[in-house]
Homo-oligomer: A and B are copies of this chain.
Amino acid sequence: MDDWLKDSVEVEASWVTVDLAIFTIRDDQLMVLLIERGLEPFLGRPALPGGYVQKNETLRDGALRELREEAGIDGGRLHLEQLGAYGDPQRDPRGRVVTVAYLALGPDLPAPVGGTDARRAYWAPVSQLTDEAEVLAFDHLAILSDALEEIRRKIEYTAVATAFCGESFTLSELRTVYEVIWGEDLDPSNFRRKALNTIGFVQPTGERWHPPTGRPANLYRRGSAWLLSPPLLRGTGNAA
């Protein structure tokens, strides 16, 4: 960490953090996990959980650690993928902090608890955030928007929607995931046909689940395919 800097006086070291956009579905609503900041800057303001990447961990490991420390969630059960890096020089008043945002999706998760530098952690319905433009700390609203867009697009052509369900699930459950995320109703019958015709998307477990009332539903688990072909295209623009 020495000679390669000589001709480049404008370079300086940065702090690298990870931030997590953790989503789940609760009461037919898409929820994101927020913390109330317990430290300056933005003390008391809502923010995405996150923290500094440590010396000898990968970015992903850092994300998993923060998941555990700040949200009390075991990362093994949920889907975690990188969203991108956010490095505007003005994004953090303390100086140059580049954050790597991660997207985490899981089935109805336990009520979170606060962590080290979070006063408390809670699930916030996504619909309100974007409408009311609640003042999230840093550029976390932008990260959240990007995360949402990514999810909406990605459930079309990958099996990532299954990450919101438990180990096994009914097709109605899976359909509800799509409905909640896209904010539109889908025809149950047509959804079933598409889901079952998309090879490797879901796999019957052989077991059934008995709803409070009505005919029992077959249970499925995620199939072997990650990329869906054909994809489940949303709404009107699905003429392909």
Contact = CB atoms under 8 A, between A and B. Distances in A.
A181 to B, nearest CB: 16
A41 to B, nearest CB: 9
A42 B99 CA distance: 27
Contacts of A233: 229-231, 240
A77 to B, nearest CB: 23
B87 A10 contact: no
A54 B98 CA distance: 12
Nearest to A156: B157
Interface string A87-100: 11100001110101
A85 B100 contact: yes
A115 to B, nearest CB: 12
A209 to B, nearest CB: 28
A157 B157 CA distance: 10
B82 A85 contact: yes
Nearest to A51: B8
A216 interface: no
Tell me the interface secondary structure of chain A in the complex: loop
A1 interface: yes
Interface of A: 1, 3-5, 7-8, 10-16, 39-40, 51-59, 82, 84-89, 94-96, 98, 100, 116-117, 153, 156-157, 197, 229-233, 236-240
14 contacts: A4-B117, A8-B52, A10-B56, A14-B53, A53-B98, A55-B96, A58-B87, A59-B98, A85-B98, A85-B100, A229-B240, A230-B238, A231-B240, A238-B240
Given A53-B87, A58-B89, 10 more contacts: A1-B94, A10-B54, A13-B15, A14-B14, A56-B89, A59-B87, A59-B98, A82-B85, A230-B238, A230-B240
